[in-house]
Amino acid sequence: MLCRRCGKNRALVEDGLCSRCADAAFAELTPAPGREPVADAPLPPPVPSAPYDPTARWALLRSPNRLATVAVALLCLVVAADLVAVAAGIGEYRLASDATAGDWSVLYDSDARRLDDLYVWSGRIQLLTLVASAVGFIAWFLRVRDNAHVFVPSGQSKARAWVIFGFVVPIVSLWFPRRIALDTWHASAGEPELGRARTWMVELWWFLWLGDLFVGRFASRMDGRAETPDEIMSGIGLLVFSDVLDIVAAIAAIAFVRSLTRLQNEKVQGSTVPGPVAA
């Protein structure tokens, strides 16, 4: 389906706009920040946890599409790195199994050395893609949270800074990002009922992320303490399972990014937007 504004490019959503026109629509609907008092204007409702400040410099509608594309691309790199790590881990597990069975010669041939090198490098690449995807995801998360603040200024229960610090501060990191995601989802949904009904996407992403985090740390600790062949096999097996879980969590994060970005596009494109411009 073609964009209903330019009539040339593919629309992001049904009866909607293309990526370029959607970016323009976000910009057109962005109010200029200002603090001029309005006569007889009602006072904003009190919000206990997050500051109500619709005129803040960051309280602007901005398109999340490009940041979403970057975040999804980086998460795809995470999946690719994990697939390589899984393949290398399975190879290492087989070597450890053969050694446990008494065939120690497999540990000293050239294939085993190449597999060891691949296993080490796959871990380094995993770390790089994890850091890059975290930066890309948080940049996108901050953008959609800012947009949600514009949609429903009183609907954010956590301050803006928690978008970043909520992932790193101990204890609160177990639920603050989820709460921010739910607030953003509800504000971005076209109908309140729709927002509540579809929050399973947020829950799926969040609990897979938590599970992946805890399993990964446990697997790394077990692998680091392994000394006997059986313990080494168990440690490698846990690491492979952790990598598989990381793939599933990354796919869930991709679905979450795409779904929330789509919700915000639908909300903005549901506003009054001019039709195709005659050439």
C-beta of residue 11 within 8 angstroms of C-beta of residue 1: yes
Q: Closest by alpha carbon to 2, among 278, 276, 279, 277?
A: 276
Q: Which residue ranges make up each domain of the chain?
A: 61-269
Confidence of residue 45 (pLDDT cuts 50, 70, 90): very low
In the chain, the amino acid numbered 19 is S
- Look up tokens 């929050």; give the residue: 199
User: How many Å apart are CA 41 and CA 38, to the nearest integer?
Assistant: 5
CA–CA distances in Å: residue 51 to residues 42, 44, 172, 181, 216: 17, 11, 19, 17, 36
- Looking at the predicted structure, is the pLDDT value of residue 128 above 90? yes
- Looking at the predicted structure, is the pLDDT value of residue 182 above 90? yes
Residues 6 or more apart whose CB falls under 8 angstroms from that of 257 comprise: 68, 71, 72, 75, 137, 140
Confidence of residue 222 (pLDDT cuts 50, 70, 90): confident
- Looking at the predicted structure, is the pLDDT value of residue 84 above 60? yes
Neighbour count for residue 275 (Cβ, 10 Å): 9
**Percent of all residues in the chain with a pLDDT value above 70, rounded to a whole number:** 74
Give the mean model confidence (pLDDT) for residues 217-223. Answer: 88
More confident residue, 37 or 226: 226
More confident residue, 179 or 271: 179
Joined together, the tokens standing for residue 110 give: 């050239």
Backbone dihedral angles phi then psi of residue 57, each to the nearest 5 degrees: -60, -30
With residues binned 3-state (H G I as helix, E B as strand, rest as coil), the percentages for the chain, rounded to 5, are 70, 0, 30
Tell me the per-residue pLDDT of 152-173, one tens digit each, with 9 for 90 and over. Answer: 888 888 988 999 999 999 999 9
Confidence of residue 19 (pLDDT cuts 50, 70, 90): confident
- Looking at the predicted structure, is the pLDDT value of residue 274 above 50? no
Highest mean pLDDT among 74-78, 96-100, 172-176 belongs to 74-78
Q: Closest by alpha carbon to 63, among 18, 23, 21?
A: 23
Give the mean model confidence (pLDDT) for residues 88-93. Answer: 87
